[in-house]
Structure 1
Amino acid sequence: MTEKTPMKSIFDAKLASPSRLADGVSDAIAAALFDGRISPGEPLPPEGVIAREFGVSKPIAREALRQLTAAGLIFTQQGKVARAKALSGEPMERIYGYAVRSSLKRLQEANEMRRVIEAGIARLAAERRAPEGLKAMKQGLEDMHTSLRDPSGFTEADILFHLGLAMATGNAMIRVQMEGMRSVQREVSELFSRRANRTDADWRATIERHRSIYDAIMAGDTDLAEDRIRAHFDAADIASLEVADKLAGGEA
């Protein structure tokens, strides 16, 4: 595609505020990405075409594309047009990862955030029970059984289970949020792996807590699903305190 190629407009090119032109351009392109006018992997129009369509300069169009790249909505390569990316929680995952690795306090806050968010997710998952999510949760449980005493494998199984929980809601934005929290799950799991006294019974108790969540969701019991995920986090908090007590410094 060249800058002279005629094409049908795929953007709403009316900018509301001329004082924030780059923001207006990036908002309009993002809207086209979110509502499916531009599919994942599809090329965006060249920079010059975007500039002409919005009636802005090339530097403004370039800044808008930089904003979208930083947000993880498009990817660019030198000398090539930008392409749309599939919606994912990758940008949030990086931010949460930086935060939870910065201090024990941030990690505890992130885990508290998960408790609040996932309680609501469990209720909606039990109400909707989207098949794709239920399948992922079941696979996560199976992978946990085959990953006993393997912290890395168990962590990935745990992440898959909770992603399945989000997918069971049928809500794409909830799925993205759960993807963003993967770095929190990984950091908590790494702390747990420091517990030299973790027994087979501990591992199996973790699996059973997840199974009880799955069973409640399969039964469509919203109250029970929320109760069981809160119980899961209560148990995880106790384990977290055991680990935290052994960490030197007690940083904030």
Structure 2
Amino acid sequence: MTATTTKKPFFSAKQASPLRLADSVSDAIAAALFDGRIQPGEPLPPEGEIAREFGVSKPIAREALRQLTAAGLIFTQQGKVARAKAISGEPMERIYGYAVRSSLKSLQEANEMRRVIETGIARLAAERRDPEGLKTMTQAIEDMKTSLLDPAGFTEADILFHLGLAMATGNTMIRVQMEGLRSVQREVSELFSRRSNRTDADWRQTIKRHEEILDAISAGDADLAEAKIKSHFKAADIASLEVADKLEGRRQ
């Protein structure tokens, strides 16, 4: 008699609750993505194999994969197995992008959210000082200096700086959150970079504020890092009359 080979479950799956079958399946697969059992670009098991492992029907397995695709965790192509995507803030970035372009109030609220979030991030960055984050922030400042009077280039450098700020915490979830806020950063930075009265001195002062944030974080001074990020947001307050007028004009 031939011995039966027992295959180790891929997802360490538990029996799915009948009340939320697809949710249970997608939760277990997402856990495998987040803890590294499935690396970005790697294929997931075929739909039928997923269904068998979880003890559900193929339509339930298909719905779980649709949920993961919508969340930006996997990508699928017709006739091919699903593959894992690198964890990123892309889905949030799209949502925030729709929101901040919808009204001045939404943009103000989003920027207020950034102020609250990044204050805490600056403190943690000063405590952790992840080298890759500090390197990214330094590169961003150099990019700013070479992009003076170039709104598009300066905006991308600004976005890179704040991503580096998040990376300096060494916290993946904070990095993902900052990636999600890129659409908010881009909208605000582009508006301020294109102000009609922005002078060369104004551009350089913006760079100086970023340098002061980096210096405080590099020194491990959490209190100073928090103070500098607050000062930065105060200087870039989108409630200014000129920016508000420009926003309203764009939405009419």
What CA distance in whole angstroms lies between the structure 1 residues aligned with 2:42 and 2:246?
50
Query: Which residue in 2 is equivalent to 1:12?
Result: 12
Q: How does 1:1-252 map to 2 (within 5 A)?
A: 7-15=7-15, 17-237=17-237, 240-248=240-248
What CA distance in whole angstroms lies between the structure 2 residues aligned with 1:131 and 1:233?
24
User: Structure 1, unaligned stretches of length 5 or more?
Assistant: 1-5
Amino acid at match of 2:30: A
User: Structure 2, unaligned stretches of length 5 or more?
Assistant: 1-5
Instruction: Give the deviation of 1:10 after TM superposition.
Output: 1.8
Task: Give the number of aligned pairs.
Answer: 247
> Which secondary structure does the structure 1 equivalent of 2:24 belong to?
helix
Query: TM-score when scaled to structure 2?
Result: 0.94
Whether the 8 Å contact between 2:104 and 2:247 is mirrored in structure 1 is no
Whether the 8 Å contact between 1:110 and 1:184 is mirrored in structure 2 is yes
Whether the 8 Å contact between 1:124 and 1:222 is mirrored in structure 2 is yes
Distance verdict in 2 for CA 1:60–1:208, change over 3 Å: same
What CA distance in whole angstroms lies between the structure 1 residues aligned with 2:249 and 2:138?
40
Amino acid at match of 1:244: A
Distance verdict in 2 for CA 1:87–1:240, change over 3 Å: farther
How many percent identity over aligned positions?
84
Query: Which residue in 1 is equivalent to 2:3?
Result: none
> Which secondary structure does the structure 2 equivalent of 1:102 belong to?
coil
TM-align CA RMSD: 1.7
Query: TM-score when scaled to structure 1?
Result: 0.94
Query: Which residue in 2 is equivalent to 1:3?
Result: none
Distance verdict in 2 for CA 1:240–1:186, change over 3 Å: farther
Q: Cα deviation per residue 1:199-234 (whole Å; 9 max; x = unaligned)? A: 001100100000000000011000000000000000
What CA distance in whole angstroms lies between the structure 2 residues aligned with 1:33 and 1:238?
38
